[in-house]
Amino acid sequence: LIINVVERPSVSSIEIEGNKAISTEDLMKGLKQSGLAEGEIFQRATLEGVRNELQRQYVAQGRYSAEVDAEVVPQPRNRVALKIKINEGTVAAIQHINIVGNTVFSDETLQQLFELKTTNWLSFFKNDDKYAREKLSGDLERLRSYYLDRGYINMDIASTQVSITPDKKHVYITVNVNEGEKYTVRDVKLSGDLKVPEDQVKSLLLVQPGQVFSRKVMTTTSELITRRLGNEGYTFANVNGVPQPNDQDHTVDIMFVVDPGKRAYVNRINYRGNTKTED
């Protein structure tokens, strides 16, 4: 029985050319995390996975026309050198942003919330017409917050479509929203271990019955109560506002649940930087 063994080659060097939008250092870190680094054993499947990962990073920046080519150069003593050539292409510009399903607020009002804009005469300076997935996620969260701060507690972004033209230079964004009904506050309650007089906590409640529900006002109230407990030594207190919608009459009951945690005490006071004065 004769077994012929051919060992996999090791990677002697990695060269990256053509990258500007993403630094070579960051790309090298990504390669290392994927199992491709100098001194490691080379596997063709790993290289293909890395090429797809680099392509994905450029797509996330809106560079749909980016191309990544990897060349494997054999070297003596069972080693290979990797040459990765990148053509970053250009960032796809946003041609149109369409919001579907909104009846309460106009398209212009909602589009002003977006950091992403369609191409205009200021885009050359602001660079705000370049599509990026992270920016779109932030814009959708701003859109959701806008509705939640104005009583539309059941507002939902049903879907988001991002389409690109065949030449990969222009992007069309469509956002489908379900607005739901406007809700007002019916009742506000406190629960949990308050640790301070209840009337003092109630004086901090910015949410009052009859108001239009606002998530921003609710979270600000939670922060005020947390700060008040912090003044009493409950540094790690946790206060959560829990809305309970009533779909029959479009009202919402808000329960502020207070968890003061353990009281914190000063253990030691250290001074640093005092060279002429004793502690």
Q: Please indicate, yes or no, whether residues 207 and 173 belong to a single structural domain of this protein.
A: no
Q: Per-residue pLDDT tens for 46-63?
A: 778 778 878 887 887 778
The answer to whether 182 and 150 are in contact (CB under 8 A) is yes
Q: Please indicate, yes or no, whether residues 190 and 170 belong to a single structural domain of this protein.
A: no
CATH number at residue 107: 3.10.20.310
pLDDT-wise least confident of 37-41, 149-153, 217-221: 37-41
Q: Please indicate, yes or no, whether residues 197 and 243 belong to a single structural domain of this protein.
A: yes
**Residue 123 forms part of a structural domain:** yes
Q: Which domain holds residue 246?
A: 184-259
Question: How many domains in the chain?
Answer: 3
Q: Please indicate, yes or no, whether residues 169 and 104 belong to a single structural domain of this protein.
A: yes
CA distances from 111 to 135, 203, 211 (A): 14, 37, 27
Q: Per-residue pLDDT tens for 137-147?
A: 999 999 999 99
**Residue 221 forms part of a structural domain:** yes
| Domain-ending residue, one of 146, 178, 210 | 178
Q: Per-residue pLDDT tens for 226-265?
A: 999 999 999 999 999 999 999 999 999 999 999 999 999 9
pLDDT of residue 170 exceeding 70: yes
Check residue 121 and give its pLDDT.
66
- Alpha helices by DSSP H, listed for the chain, are 24-33, 44-60, 107-111, 123-126, 133-148, 198-202, 215-231
**Stretch 176-186: mean pLDDT, rounded?**
94
Q: Please indicate, yes or no, whether residues 166 and 189 belong to a single structural domain of this protein.
A: no
**Residue 4 forms part of a structural domain:** no
| Domain-ending residue, one of 36, 57, 87 | 87
Higher pLDDT, 128 or 110: 110
The answer to whether 184 and 150 are in contact (CB under 8 A) is no
For the chain, the average pLDDT equals 88
CB neighbours of residue 21 within 10 Å: 14
Check residue 22 and give its pLDDT.
80
| Domain-ending residue, one of 163, 178, 193 | 178
Q: Please indicate, yes or no, whether residues 192 and 158 belong to a single structural domain of this protein.
A: no
Check residue 123 and give its pLDDT.
61
